[in-house]
Amino acid sequence: MIHSNPSTRPMLVILALATGAFAIGTAEFAAMSLVPFFARDLGLTEPQAGHAISAYALGVVVGAPIIAALAARIGRRQLLMGLMALFAVGNGLSALAGSYGLLLLTRFIAGLPHGAYFGIAALVAASQVAPERRAQSIAWVMTGLTVATVIGVPVANALGQALGWRSGFAIVAALAILTVVLVALYAPEQPADRNASPMRELGAFRRPQVVLTLLVGAVGFGGLFCVYTYVASTLIEVTRVPEATVPLVLAIFGAGMTAGNLFWAWLADRIGTRSALIALVVSAGACALFPIAAGNLWALLPVVTLIGFTGGWGTVLQARLMSVAGEAQALAAAAHHSAFNFANALGPWLGGLAIAAGWGLPSIGWIGTVLSLAGLALLLLTLSLHRQQRMLTRPA
């Protein structure tokens, strides 16, 4: 049996956790980039193929709160290993799916452990550093996901073109198995709270600030996912670039997201949740530029980079949830990724409706703008209500 080293340095712990984030990021974003290819192979329309993305996202939405609540008394290291083992199974089965129905089912299964893994990984990472560095510690774990958009997704997309789309999911399954080994070696043993229970965790949903913060992510991130899901199709059908150019553009998007992930976390440790307000304003503007730039590659590249850059503000919401969730830390942290992937379902669905209605692929940028602005309005409401609540409870 493999045992972790209790003296392991925090960066090795974060590296092990980030490897799982890299696997999840590769699976989540590579599936979007492979939409044109498995649509062609399975005889689907692009909006139909986009439903495979929504099936994965639905798995995250369902799995994150249920697993976090039911597993409240399982040690964090063992739970992380089990979640990544399930993730490996789901992606391995996706690589073998022979029909549209089976692909939807296996993507749903693969999505189940996603949110709970990120939620527990965030708690473990935050426990390794001082409170004032919590957002940046979470960001380093999330860097595994954003680096996946720079390296993992373009590689999976290129292999998908060369060897077939199934190879992309097979790579993810292998990365998940590697994560199980690294977590076993380096993650600290953190026994479950003896007082933890499913009901205590579910109590997070009785806190208005938890619910409102989750709603901000569920809507606000929809713009990013709406554009990203159909960016490969836009490049091929509207920008008219060779298919070989698509992985390069995806890598540029990922570079923007990686830089944004670290930047917004750095800013959050200085100005708090206000950093998310700035991110949403920039996101709305970048998405609005997408339809204008879609016809020219050189105009589109900086827009795609900027959209990716604004996608890194998730760590801001993660840190906020940890501060408003009270004792229900695990469920709140996991539910953040349910909200994130509700956006992953909402954005592609609305984008698919716009395309099916004949508005054209570039219209996804306008959908993204509306979702970003809606997220901004919700965040302003959330912060205003929180401020009022604090004023009412302040001692006279």
Contact 246, 232 (CB under 8 A): yes
Q: Rounded CA gap, 261 and 335, in Å? A: 19
Instruction: Compute how many other C-beta atoms are within 10 angstroms of the C-beta atom of residue 191.
Output: 11
Structure confidence at residue 301 (pLDDT): 95
Q: What is the DSSP string of 157-219?
A: HHHHHHH-THHHHHHHHHHHHHHHHHHHHHS---PPPTT--HHHHHGGGG-HHHHHHHHHHHH
Structure confidence at residue 3 (pLDDT): 44
Instruction: Give first-to-last CA distance, the chain, whole Å.
Output: 59
% residues pLDDT > 70 (the chain): 92
Structure confidence at residue 1 (pLDDT): 39
> Cβ contacts of residue 127 below 8 Å, gap of 6+?
188, 190
Contact 94, 165 (CB under 8 A): no
pLDDT digits (tens, 9 = 90+) for 115-145: 889 888 888 887 777 766 767 777 888 888 8
89 backbone φψ class: left, alpha, beta (φ>0; ψ -120 to 50): alpha
pLDDT digits (tens, 9 = 90+) for 362-394: 999 999 999 999 999 999 999 999 888 777 766
- DSSP assignment, residue 239? S
Q: Rounded CA gap, 374 and 369, in Å? A: 9
Structure confidence at residue 290 (pLDDT): 96
Residue position matching structure tokens 């919590």: 134
Structure confidence at residue 164 (pLDDT): 80
Structure confidence at residue 199 (pLDDT): 64
Q: What global pTM score does this model have?
A: 0.75
Structure confidence at residue 315 (pLDDT): 80
CATH superfamily label, 10-393: MFS general substrate transporter like domains (1.20.1250.20)
Q: Which of 173, 164, 182, 30 is nearest to 121 (CA)?
A: 182
Mean pLDDT per 10-residue section of the chain, whose length is 396 residues: 51 90 86 78 77 84 83 85 96 88 92 88 81 74 81 80 84 94 88 65 75 92 90 91 86 87 87 91 96 95 94 83 74 78 85 91 95 96 86 65
Structure confidence at residue 195 (pLDDT): 64
Radius of gyration of the chain (CA): 20
Q: Rounded CA gap, 244 and 216, in Å? A: 36
Which amino acid is it at 140? Answer: W
Structure confidence at residue 234 (pLDDT): 93
Query: In the numeric block, which tokens belong to residue 325?
Result: 């969730």
Structure confidence at residue 324 (pLDDT): 81
Structure confidence at residue 86 (pLDDT): 96
4 backbone φψ class: left, alpha, beta (φ>0; ψ -120 to 50): beta
Which amino acid is it at 95? Answer: A
**Angle between helices 46-70 and 35-42 in degrees, nearest 10:** 110
Query: In the numeric block, which tokens belong to residue 92?
Result: 């391995």
